[in-house]
Chains A and B, each alone.
Chain A
């Protein structure tokens, strides 16, 4: 199924002819490929390495960590429609609420930038939630937390955690793209909302 609705327009609340519609329409290639990026991630041709439920659960989580209620609800509605989605949604939302903080923070390689190191939390999901989410999604959410708040703390050991719970290399790439794309989408929406309100 193909979504004919432009997701960023929908999330900003852009109506045809509005000033923000004109801002987007003057960059038709950006608009088209931002939407194609969304489709590639959320209406994938191949979901064998990252299931739809995993994708939407991570999306709800990342939107919630960004404190964006309407984007969280958008992905939450999609997750609810999937098998086991309502249970995952409740767990993911609660985890985000409990662990939301402010970024970016993290550490630099040892050297002159070490003075700019900022400590902050890492996410370690407990056994009760892990039992609901499963090892794969637990690892994905912990990685999404790292990418969202402290991307400069990434390491081979963090990727090993994904591989050891059943993600393969292609799945890790898709997951990394998905979290990183959301960081983009959420910020385009935040910026356009300000311009649309002017």
Chain B
């Protein structure tokens, strides 16, 4: 059986937060494509994910992977109303920056830059950390995401008030809450079952 830990010898691992396209390698054995059943493919939601070590490892428990993926997709991609995609990605990046997930932060900072066209501000968040000054609206979102991400969470009515004053509706604040909360799920998985690899 494949119940052993993998210790990859990663050369030149990413040691700083970056918007570059870096990779990831697992510490436990993913399922091989030849082992995947119809149920596994269904749980992957997107079949191309069978080629990702991360998802091919998570699919060992298909029920939670499927539900998690559908939660994730709705929180981030359902943008017919509510908070703009860029700011959902900003909340995800802030949580990842606080928790220290270099890979998660790289992926979602790229999305934040792509959708906001504010690449320099996004880079400032990565370089300076969660206290970086990004303008009041973004500061309020980052601050809320950080407060939700501490353990115990420290998000209070003051954070909600600041977001409202920055122009967010309660529906949009709920989107911030879900984006930040979801990355407390994602960061912990990504950090604990594998590690980042350098850009190829």
Contact = CB atoms under 8 A, between A and B. Distances in A.
Contact of A37 (B28, B71, B160, B180): B71
Contacts of A170: 60-61
Size band of the interface chain A makes with B = 35 or more
Interface string B1-31: 1111111000001111100000000011100
A122 to B, nearest CB: 14
Given A23-B170, A112-B16, A152-B100, A191 B177 contact: yes
18 contacts: A34-B67, A37-B64, A66-B152, A102-B152, A104-B98, A104-B151, A147-B188, A152-B101, A163-B3, A170-B60, A174-B64, A177-B58, A180-B189, A187-B155, A187-B184, A188-B178, A195-B173, A197-B157
Contacts of B93: none
B18 to A, nearest CB: 11
Contacts of B98: 104
Contacts of B187: 151
Contact of A45 (B2, B63, B70): B63
Contacts of A33: 67-68, 70-71, 74
Contact of A104 (B148, B150, B156): B150
Nearest to A180: B188
Contacts of A109: 13-15
Contacts of A179: 188
Interface string A127-139: 0000000000000
A147 B155 contact: no
A159 B74 contact: no
Contacts of A185: 181
A190 B155 contact: yes
Interface string A1-45: 000000000000000000100011011011011101101110011
A178 B193 CA distance: 13
Contact of A27 (B60, B178, B185, B186): B178
A116 interface: yes
- Which DSSP category, helix, strand, loop or mixed, fits chain A's interface? helix
Interface string A107-143: 0111111001000000000000000000000000000
B37 to A, nearest CB: 14
A173 B170 contact: no
Q: Identify which of B78, B150, B159, B193 gathers the most chain A CB atoms within 10 Å of its CB.
A: B193
B132 interface: no
Interface of A: 19, 23-24, 26-27, 29-30, 32-34, 36-37, 39-41, 44-45, 65-68, 102-104, 106, 108-113, 116, 146-149, 151-152, 154, 156-160, 163, 168-170, 172-174, 176-181, 183-188, 190-192, 194-195, 197-198
Interface of B: 1-7, 13-17, 27-29, 57-58, 60-61, 63-68, 70-71, 73-75, 78, 81-82, 98-101, 129, 148-153, 155-157, 159-160, 170-171, 173-174, 176-178, 180-182, 184-189, 191-193
B23 to A, nearest CB: 15
B156 A184 contact: no
Nearest to A38: B67
A37 B67 CA distance: 5
B62 to A, nearest CB: 9
B24 to A, nearest CB: 13
B171 A26 contact: yes
B153 A102 contact: no
B101 A151 contact: yes
B99 A104 contact: yes
Contacts of B129: 116
Contacts of A39: 67
A132 to B, nearest CB: 25
A112 B15 contact: yes
